[in-house]
Structure 1
Amino acid sequence: MRIADVGDLWWRNAVFYCLDVETFRDGNGDGVGDFTGLTESLGYLEQLGVTCIWLMPFYPTPDRDDGYDISDFYGVDPRLGTLGDAAEFIRTARSRGIRVIVDLVVNHTSDKHPWFVQARRSRNSKFRDYYIWRDRPTRNQKNMVFPGEEQSIWEWEPKTEQYYMHSFYRHQPDLNLTNSAVREEIAKIVAYWLTLGVAGFRIDAVPFLLAAPGSPDAADPHEFIRDLKRFVRRRSSEAMLLGEVALPHPEQLEYFGGQDGGELDAQFDFTLMDAVYLASVRGDATPIADALRSRPKTSEPVAWGNFLRNHDELTLQLLTDEEREEVFDALAPEPYQRIYGRGILRRLAPMLNGDPRRLRLAYSLLFSLPGVPVLYYGEEIGMGENPELPGRSAVRSPMQWTPERNGGFSPARPSQLPGSLTTGGFGPEYVNVRNQQMDEGSLFHFIRALIARYRTTPEIGWGDVELVEHDTPGVFAHILRTDHEGGMLALHNLTAEPATVSLPSAADIGGEVLTDLLHPREIPLQAERATDVHLDPYGFLWLQITPPGGAIV
């Protein structure tokens, strides 16, 4: 794919950074992160190289599900600031070259939302059909999202003597997306935030949005996303839709809109994420290669979002039972580190025992795999989880800015914070922004350098991938090109032993010289035979392929 052929689709080479306003930085000293603190931190994110901030829910909420239980789609949680504060943040971010996308959570509302408050009072309420009601539960009623926490997807409402559906928690009644009035409300929500300057939306749990068990049948469950995409494009030429679709690759293709597109602009690649962890614990690159081979082709210039961690559990649901146990045993050996039988409640740095070689290898993979990288706040400094916090909150502790009290997150009393900070070797005394900014050898500066190189290597976001065949199973090798020659070659040694890779001849690779993009050196390619390249334990290389007569960028 040639870059010139696809237009100004900014998300194809963006660097996404996910954060929760509540836990990022306290700007007014009350113990809770807010838009004031976030706006004051934009210089830091600009220094890191972030080009798009993804905001987790910041709307008014009873806060029983970390803000995903929304009671007003048009406002800002008063603890986090005002609507004016949010608008000023969006404007200021854009002035620094950073776009902002926000969570669009329309699977459900809070049971405190005015729509549901009225709907549950009377069967004759005009909001009754905004939700899904049954006289008796459906046969398929097991809760699959939170097994062990919620037994059913149906909850009895005694006042009106019917059950309402909740694919998630019982305090989050599902919206009825087959109702045209609900779709009109969603269009108003989208238009509102686009007017305030957001550059797109991350859509939560898309498969449940369209085809939750027990929801009313629709003629075409994908019609809603197609309509939403058309509406967004009419209101903003730049706005994009990023979807959370934790399904195998063939099924994900349908959420792009099939071969012809027309639905989501980008999706998180859960298959590849699982494969990276499986390959890492095995020291065998095969799962990564298989995952990339299984990515469906599409004529649309859509994007795959690559990530290592996010705000939820590290879900391994796309692995087989045996593969999942391999990863569990290696990275989450204790039962309290696991949840729902499918996920891990840990951040990356502790999972890798803080080994700087393995951390750098993991992030080198993240930024060099075909697609766009998505970072979760604190990853750039190697923050750890806090197992004292319940459930998924373990990976949602406050950002660690300094080694001082409360990690520099807030001057308030620790009891006023939205959660306690990590302790021990990954606590703020040892892991914080200030110390790493002053240390040129820190993880922060390493990731900053990767971002800078990623931003000047368009093949990663725009190019087509070629897997390089060789005889070293512990090394993953791939080429990314936007043309038939040249491009970028990346090598990653997933093992604790040194490795030598025999690369194809210059003619097969399409170049004469390999220029190291992370270190100042060159590797000439042999014209008629293989070229051997050495990798240290957990070593990696980003190599620009210079074609005959080509210029080195």
Structure 2
Amino acid sequence: MDKRWWKESIVYQIYPRSFKDSDGDGIGDLNGITEKMDYLEKLGINVLWLSPVYKSPNDDNGYDISDYQDIMDEFGTMEDFDKMLSSAHEHGIKLVMDLVVNHTSDEHPWFIESRKSLENPYRDYYIWRPAKDGKEPNNWGSCFSGSAWQYDEKTDMYYLHLFSKKQPDLNWDNPKVRQEVFDMMNWWLDKGVDGFRMDVISLISKKPDLPDGPAGINGYASFNEPANGPHVHEYLQEMREKVLNNADTITVGECSGVTLEEAKKYARSDEKELNMVFQFEHMHVDADGSNKWTDKKMDLRDLKEILTRWQKGLEDIAWNSLFWENHDQPRSISRFGNDSKEYHNVSAKMLATCLHMMQGTPYVYQGQELGMTNAPFMSVKDFRDLDSINAYYELVEEQKVFTSEEMMRYLRAKSRDNARTPFQWDDSENAGFTTGTPWIMVNPNYTEINAKDQLGDPDSVFCYYQKLIKLRKEKDIIVYGNYDLLLPDSKEIYAYTRTLGEEKLLVVCNFYEKETEIEIPEEFRCGGYLISNYETKPVREKMTLRPYESFVIEK
């Protein structure tokens, strides 16, 4: 059993803009995070992943970086960052930076130089191509709708942007670009950070001929088309040699379009590349084919098949990352659970049980430990997310694929802004997030769902997360035990076992409000409960699961 500290960790993601505002300008900041370090320590997490805080014009909420070695004015200063990093370490919490190096901002000095002329020394830092048959160089689409190519009159050529047109893609085939990135990463490691979450890292190597791909709902090929290019593993191994081996780091790659076979290369146990990857297959179980803009509900059997394939496929080969939420996904309780008052707490706890008992490193997104829900956005004007706004105008007004009412329903279900509403600290004005005007609406249910109420309630979602985190730290079986699925054909129950030597756990989760019966395997009928989201009943051969009931039995 290859024990590593990052396998035994629980990572907490902070979206700084929405976590805590310390100066009343309506925007969360670094000093706000420092203020809440006691809260994070109390929860029990030991790694903090910080969404980007670098200098940025904020076209895509900080994922468009104009200076990798400076701090966004809205978030504070480098001195504030150093104070926050020091506070995290004093609280026993490691800090992971969000590494965004597939692209920069178009306001980065490299790109400003690159667009000046064909001969500029920075020209080859980005991906430029001439028109093809009077049109864009290929049919690749941007993640944020429309073409992935932007025409630039200055040199009569197009540059590639797999995201916003203000986020031009870097040319990783240029060794000077790679060295610039590696030097910057080492600078942050020297400062004392503990690792990197690598944004869309599977996109850094493009196929040299940039071929067309199959067109999607808007006529363009998916932005995942360039994923897992021919040199991606070579470049990550170079990063490992020149950067990551210089410190005891934790690394996770956001790998759009990753397959199980590719993940075995990215996160293999010999640590030649990354420690683990984020895969997104289970985030598409409620999509309509390649179209995420829908409010259809998942089939639990699909979810079980995907998660089981990854659990078994990486077993003894690579390492899983476990997540329901992040800054790009809607709230899991509204998506996979039940956010009604009646079932809010039990379904939030059920989802937590299901995920935290699997093999892999769990990621908790800010507010998930409270059961924060999707927000009741009423108009496209309520959104701040470029992806949501662009999709609305493209699919409703330009292409008329959906009516306004349909698209608003889909946005309320799937918009990234659902995860970006301010953290709900207490029941005071603006949920205790700010004394000013919040940059985005506060979910009105903050009077019922907030940290202050939950910290003092032993039956709260927060306290349940505390228990799960504590158990993971105490029991090797939860971290390292093998996973095996039970009842693959059940439409209501997600049940699996964990096994480590003679130890064994049974995890049972009812994903619906309908009561349903389960037969408990004989070897667990004399076992005891490790954790449960209801008052426990004696273990019997056959048990009726209550709405959203979950429990773990130790053999």
Q: TM-score range by the shorter chain?
A: 0.7 to 0.9
Distance in 1, Cα, partners of 2:117 & 2:299? 60
Q: What residue is the counterpart of 1:347 in the other structure?
A: 331
Distance in 2, Cα, partners of 1:534 & 1:60? 55
Q: What residue is the counterpart of 1:340 in the other structure?
A: none
- Give, in angstroms, the shift of residue 274 of structure 1: 4.5
Map 1:458-477; keep pairs closer than 5 Å.
Answer: 458-468=476-486, 474-477=492-495
Asked if the contact 1:11–1:303 (Cα under 8 Å) also holds between the matched residues in 2, the reply is no
Q: What residue is the counterpart of 1:319 in the other structure?
A: none
Whichever residue aligns with residue 230 of structure 1, its letter is E
Deviation track 1:286-343 (CA, whole Å, cap 9, x = no partner) reads 641453135564586632111112111x4xxxxxxxxxxxxxxxxxxxxxxxxxxxxx
Asked if the contact 1:132–1:215 (Cα under 8 Å) also holds between the matched residues in 2, the reply is no
Map 1:495-514; keep pairs closer than 5 Å.
Answer: 495-506=512-523, 513-514=526-527
Equivalent residue of 1:210, what SS?
A: coil
Equivalent residue of 1:17, what SS?
A: strand
Q: What residue is the counterpart of 2:10 in the other structure?
A: 15
| TM-aligned CA distance change 1:114 to 1:85, over 3 Å | same
- Give, in angstroms, the shift of residue 96 of structure 1: 1.1
| TM-aligned CA distance change 1:244 to 1:132, over 3 Å | same
Q: What residue is the counterpart of 2:507 in the other structure?
A: 490
Map 1:159-198; keep pairs closer than 5 Å.
Answer: 159-198=154-193
Matched, 1:304 2:328: no
Equivalent residue of 2:7, what SS?
A: helix
Map 1:441-456; keep pairs closer than 5 Å.
Answer: 441-456=459-474
Quick one: which of 125, 134, 137 aligns to 2:129? 134
Asked if the contact 1:261–1:298 (Cα under 8 Å) also holds between the matched residues in 2, the reply is no
Quick one: which of 241, 250, 264 aligns to 1:230? 241
Deviation track 1:204-261 (CA, whole Å, cap 9, x = no partner) reads 112222237866998633211111123334210x202201123354344254266866
| TM-aligned CA distance change 1:445 to 1:165, over 3 Å | same
Q: What residue is the counterpart of 1:256 in the other structure?
A: 266
Q: What residue is the counterpart of 1:293 in the other structure?
A: 309
Distance in 1, Cα, partners of 2:326 & 2:488? 33
| TM-aligned CA distance change 1:33 to 1:257, over 3 Å | closer
Distance in 2, Cα, partners of 1:273 & 1:459? 26
Matched, 1:410 2:405: no
Whichever residue aligns with residue 494 of structure 1, its letter is F
| TM-aligned CA distance change 1:16 to 1:257, over 3 Å | closer
Asked if the contact 2:252–2:274 (Cα under 8 Å) also holds between the matched residues in 1, the reply is yes
- Give, in angstroms, the shift of residue 67 of structure 1: 0.4
Asked if the contact 1:141–1:213 (Cα under 8 Å) also holds between the matched residues in 2, the reply is no
Map 1:330-341; keep pairs closer than 5 Å.
Answer: none
Equivalent residue of 2:321, what SS?
A: strand
Q: What residue is the counterpart of 1:517 in the other structure?
A: 530
Q: What residue is the counterpart of 2:383 in the other structure?
A: 389
Distance in 1, Cα, partners of 2:306 & 2:65? 39
Whichever residue aligns with residue 434 of structure 2, its letter is S
Matched, 1:99 2:94: yes
Q: What residue is the counterpart of 2:412 in the other structure?
A: none
Matched, 1:363 2:352: yes
Matched, 1:28 2:26: no
Deviation track 1:63-118 (CA, whole Å, cap 9, x = no partner) reads 01010010000111122111121122112112211111011100111010011111
Distance in 2, Cα, partners of 1:283 & 1:494? 10
Residues 27-36 or 96-105, more deviating: 27-36
- Give, in angstroms, the shift of residue 457 of structure 1: 2.6
Q: What residue is the counterpart of 1:419 in the other structure?
A: 440
Asked if the contact 2:301–2:488 (Cα under 8 Å) also holds between the matched residues in 1, the reply is no
- Give, in angstroms, the shift of residue 139 of structure 1: 4.8
| TM-aligned CA distance change 1:65 to 1:309, over 3 Å | same
Whichever residue aligns with residue 40 of structure 2, its letter is L
Asked if the contact 2:312–2:483 (Cα under 8 Å) also holds between the matched residues in 1, the reply is no
Asked if the contact 2:477–2:499 (Cα under 8 Å) also holds between the matched residues in 1, the reply is yes
Equivalent residue of 2:454, what SS?
A: helix
| TM-aligned CA distance change 1:13 to 1:226, over 3 Å | same
Q: What residue is the counterpart of 1:241 in the other structure?
A: 251
Equivalent residue of 1:74, what SS?
A: strand
Q: What residue is the counterpart of 1:145 in the other structure?
A: 143
Q: CA RMSD in A?
A: 2.9
Residues 280-289 or 110-119, more deviating: 280-289
| TM-aligned CA distance change 1:109 to 1:299, over 3 Å | same
Equivalent residue of 1:253, what SS?
A: helix
| TM-aligned CA distance change 1:274 to 1:40, over 3 Å | same
- Give, in angstroms, the shift of residue 465 of structure 1: 0.9
Q: What residue is the counterpart of 2:362 in the other structure?
A: 373
Asked if the contact 1:259–1:299 (Cα under 8 Å) also holds between the matched residues in 2, the reply is no
Distance in 2, Cα, partners of 1:442 & 1:259? 37
Q: What residue is the counterpart of 1:535 in the other structure?
A: 545
TM-score (norm. length: structure 1): 0.81
Residues 285-294 or 56-65, more deviating: 285-294
Equivalent residue of 2:479, what SS?
A: helix
Distance in 2, Cα, partners of 1:472 & 1:152? 42
| TM-aligned CA distance change 1:30 to 1:144, over 3 Å | closer
Number of equivalent positions: 487
- Give, in angstroms, the shift of residue 523 of structure 1: 6.8
| TM-aligned CA distance change 1:300 to 1:215, over 3 Å | farther
Whichever residue aligns with residue 323 of structure 2, its letter is F
Identity of aligned residues (%): 29
Asked if the contact 1:71–1:109 (Cα under 8 Å) also holds between the matched residues in 2, the reply is yes
Distance in 1, Cα, partners of 2:334 & 2:26? 26
